[in-house]
């Protein structure tokens, strides 16, 4: 039955990722993948927070399901490669380094807010 909790969380996380990405990209008419950056950082923060406050089934539903479907490493990788191949090498490096730094910072902040050591 655990798989059902993961699937339910993912059923919310995937459309939320798509809609958030489209909304953010619509506001920024650039080739830089701001939408993916936003969902990955938000998902990292949420997972850090959930790690401190959720357990068991809630972790499966919200952590694995929702956050797993909300965040996207594959899209991040593809968009970074597309920037690089399109000649925007500086933006590709900025996306890779900025995503890593912001994601780590967000998950750290989430755990701090949750009161984890």
Predicted confidence (pLDDT) per residue in 27-79, tens digit: 998 899 999 999 999 999 999 999 889 889 999 999 999 999 999 999 999 99
Structural domain range at position 59:
2-113
Nearest one of 70, 103, 76 to 92, comparing CA atoms: 76
Per-residue b or e along 41-50, where b marks 16 or more CB atoms closer than 10 Å to that residue's CB: bbbbbbbbbb
Question: Cα-Cα-Cα-Cα dihedral of 60, 65, 74, 104, to 10°?
Answer: -60
Query: What does the DSSP 8-state code read for residue 88?
Result: -
68 marked as binding residue? yes
Q: What is the pLDDT of residues 70-115, one digit of tens each?
A: 999 999 999 999 999 999 999 999 999 999 999 999 999 999 999 9
pTM, two decimal places: 0.93
52 marked as binding residue? no
Q: Above 90 in pLDDT, residue 25?
A: yes
Q: How many domains does the chain have?
A: 1
**Using 50, 70 and 90 to split pLDDT, how confident is the model at 22?**
very high
Q: Work out whether the CA dihedral 61, 66, 69, 72 comes out positive or negative.
A: negative
């Amino acid at each position: 039955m655990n798989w059902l909790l993961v699937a339910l969380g993912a059923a919310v996380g995937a459309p939320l990722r798509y809609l958030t990405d489209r909304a953010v990209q619509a506001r920024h008419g650039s080739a830089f993948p701001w939408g993916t950056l936003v969902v990955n950082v938000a998902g990292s923060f949420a997972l850090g927070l959930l790690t401190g406050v959720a357990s068991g089934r809630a972790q499966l539903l919200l952590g694995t399901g929702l956050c797993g479907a909300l965040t996207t490493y594959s899209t991040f990788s593809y968009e970074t490669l597309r920037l690089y191949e399109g000649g925007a090498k500086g933006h590709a490096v900025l996306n890779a380094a900025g995503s890593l730094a912001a994601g780590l910072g967000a998950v750290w902040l989430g755990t701090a807010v949750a009161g984890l050591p």
